[in-house]
Structure 1
């Protein structure tokens, strides 16, 4: 599908509409990150390259204090990797929707994916099955999210030396992050993981090199996995009796694959 045809898709326009509400928060986050990169001593060219290639605001903000204090490179890499571990979970979810696409296209989708896009997409398509409108919807949401991040981020990088600290952009960035965070809290597991992460980060605040961030991430992942395991144990799939000579319908097969049903086929006796 070419760009002109993609823009005419109703799903593309729906993706754009769904992301407009969070665009302001993402933009504020991008502006603060752009300013912060230069204020910590990063050259403008390198900051621009980081914004365009990394395109991961939480990871960028997490490693900036480490770079400023001269932390070992392995700590910087480990912090960025831990912060972005959630994308492993995201990609596993995306697989249910985009697995039939060519590898090159899936890699491109992976670069443009983000937290807010993920939440909006799952709200629009809760059933993990491919649909023709999903790719246009993704690109509509991704285009808004990418522009909402990159334009303010690049502006912050280029104008950082003219932005006084008295403007309190750090506090604005915190508010923007809180807005994005609240949009991602949609079930008990995410609320629990967030609470555990906040508690762990405060409890381990005295650790050097901002290692409390790693502690918080590890604690949140452990809490989320534990909650998921508990929910899985509580979930009792429905037993469905299947006649000996019939096949399961497509919707039933999907429920079996999701673990919601267990097929029990009748046996034919002579």
Structure 2
């Protein structure tokens, strides 16, 4: 990763994160196939919803015959963390058009958000719409293709977890966290590790009383506040 903020640079920078999209996308497609969804349905879902965890939940709820209202509410709660991410990244595109901001927000994911936070360390805290579009669009296309391939391969793979596909995103985020820690010079290593430890411990306890996505949202908000407190002025 370098300081370039071109469309081509966005395509190049997002490549390492694509393994996560491919792994989870294949798993999602396989699960969709075993739930008797067609390839076309999987493709449309991936293009419109474009949210891994939400799509897994939607498939299970559709299979269970849940009402549409419950599916919509569940999807909103699962993806509510994107509100925080969008608010965080929006400050870097204040001077850009509404169309650019809508396009960026529409295709923003956990992975491209984390990637953009790492990119800021190389660009003196600036981002460009061209770079974001490059990263977002390639990730979007790869996700859709991976889910379709997974659906096509569904009849050949009974248990996707035996290949470790369920760990793909976890491993990718560990790598992104490591890159963020070693490249962010605005905060000390000690401060960053303290915040990471705080959020991890808080998440552990919150998971006992809240669903995973709600716990993640609370832990994120508390982590932001805690980070402001412990960061040296």
- The TM-score with structure 2 as length reference comes to 0.76
CA contact (8 A) 2:9 2:131 kept: yes
Partners of 2:16 and 2:201 lie apart in 1 by 25
Partners of 2:65 and 2:201 in 1: CA distance:
30
Instruction: Measure the CA separation in 1 of the matches of 2:66 and 2:141.
Output: 31
2:220 to 221, 224, 227: 224
Q: Which runs of 5+ in 2 are unaligned?
A: 181-191
**Distance across 1 between alignment mates of 2:170 and 2:101:** 30
Structure with larger RCO (C-alpha < 8 A, sep 6+) = 2
Q: Which structure has the larger Rg over C-alpha atoms?
A: 1
Question: How far apart in 2 are the matches of 1:121 and 1:53?
Answer: 23
CA distance in 2, matches of 1:146, 1:176: 17
Among 135, 142, 145, the residue aligned to 1:141: 135
Cα contact 1:33–1:153 (8 A) shared by 2: yes
Provide the secondary structure at the position in 2 that maps to 1:100. coil
TM-score, normalized by length of structure 1? 0.67
Q: Aligned equivalents of 2:201 and 2:73: distance in 1?
A: 22
In the alignment, does 2:171 pair up with 1:179?
yes
Q: 1:39 to 1:107 in 2, by over 3 A?
A: same
Q: Per-residue CA shift, 1:32-52, capped at 9, x if unaligned?
A: 112212221323332221111
Q: How big is each residue's C-alpha offset from its partner over 1:134-184, in whole Å with a ceiling of 9 and x where there is no partner? A: 222212322331232121112223443x3230xx31343312122233245
Give RMSD over aligned pairs.
3.0
- Gap change, CA 1:30 and 1:136, over 3 Å in 2: same
The aligned counterpart of 1:153 is: 147
Aligned equivalents of 1:66, 1:194: Cα separation in 2: 29
